[in-house]
Structure 1
Amino acid sequence: MHHVVDLARPAPVVAPELLGCRLTSHSPDGDVTLVLTEVEAYEGAVDPASHAHRGETPRNAVMFGPAGHAYVYRSHGLHWCLNVVTGTPGAASAVLLRAGRVVDGELLARTRRGAHVAHRSLARGPGNLGQALGITGDDTGSHLLEGPRLRLQLTPDPDEVRAEVLSGPRVGVSRAADLPWRFWWAGEPTVSAYRRSPRATAVEPTPRA
C-alpha cells in the first residue's frame, strides 16, 4: 500500500512528501501532467516570507481555508505561480510548486512554453510550471483533489520516488531567507537554479503560541 500525503499539516512537513506526486491540468486544448520535482514551503503568520504573514486579505483568503485548494499569484506581473494550500483552516500554510517533469501532454506544454524549450525546462521554475499547465488567476480556489480543472494525485508515483531529497534556502526570498524550506530531488535536471535575493535577511519564523 502506497503512502498517501496528508495535506492537513504544516507546509514544511507536507512539502517534501509532494515530490513524486502527479499534477494534471485539464483544458479544452488537452491535458498536461507533470511529476513534482521541486517545492517550497510557506508557513502563514509565523513566516515573514509568506503572503499571509500580515493576515487575511481578499488576495490570499484561500490560504486561510481548508487544505487541498489552489492559491495562485502573479510573480513580477508576468508569471502565474501555483501553490497547494496545506494545514488547517486559519493556518494559511501553503506549498509553492517550483518545478516538475512533464510526463504527458508535452506537445501542449511546448505550445505554451515555446517550440525550442528543452524538455527539462518545460516546467522548471514556478512561472514556467504555471505556464506549462496553463495556470491563470482564475485557478485560485480550485479544488485540487476533486475539481475538474486541476487534479493532484496524493500518492507519489512509486516509479518516481527518489531516495535522496535535498533541502535548502528558498529562492529569491528577502525575509527568513535561510530557512531550509525548499525541497528537491538530488540530481534531477528539472530542478530550478538557486538564486538568493540581494535583500535577503535571516529572520526566523516566530514560534506559534
Structure 2
Amino acid sequence: MTTTTPVRRPRRDAIENRAGILLAATEAIARDPRASVDEIARTAGLSRRALYGHFPDRDALVRDVIATGAQRFNAVVLRIDDDDPRVALARLASLLWQEAAHVQVVATLALDETHVHDTAVALAPLREAVGAIVRRGQEQAVLRTDMPAATLARLIEEAARSAITRIDASSPEARAIAVKAALSIAGLSWQASVDLLSAHPGILEED
C-alpha cells in the first residue's frame, strides 16, 4: 500500500511575515535601489536571520518584489475598459497612482542589468495597455499624432513615472497632477484635461 506524505501548508504567521518582508522591500528599494538585506530587514522589523528564513538571498527577494508588482499592474490593466482613449488613459494613470510604490520600485529596478528580464516581464502588461490606448487615440485623432505610437506611449510612461516619484503624495492635488501630466504628454491641453476630469469625477476617486 502506497502512502503519501501530506503537504504542509505554510503557517499563517509565516505567510504574514513574508508579505511584510515584500512590502518592506518595496518601500526600501523604492527609496534606494541598492538597499541592503539589513536595511530591508530593519524596515520589516525583523532580524537578518529571520528574513533569510523566507528568502535564500537578496536576488530571490527582489524577484518576488518584481513579481508582486507585475500582479498588481495586471490587476490595474484589467480594470481599464473605457471606449474613449482619453478617459482610458486618465483612469490608468489614476489607478497607477494608487500603486505608486510598486511602479517606482519596478521602474527603478528596470535600470539594474541583473533584473532586466524580470522587470520587462513585470512592465509588459502595463506597456501593452498604454500602447493600445495610444494607438486607438491616434486612430480616433483624439491623441497627438506627430510621433509614432510606440514613442508616445513610452513618453507617457516616463511622464507618469516621474510624476509618481517626484510629487508629494500628501498633497490633495497630487493624484490629479499625475493624471494631468500623462494627458498633457498625450496631447491634451491643460483646459481639456480639466474638462475631462470634471466630466468624469470618478477617475480621481477610484481605489
TM-score (norm 2): 0.22
Task: State the structure with more CA Rg.
Answer: 2
- Of Structure 1 and Structure 2, the greater strand share is in 1
- Of Structure 1 and Structure 2, the greater helix share is in 2
TM-score (norm 1): 0.22
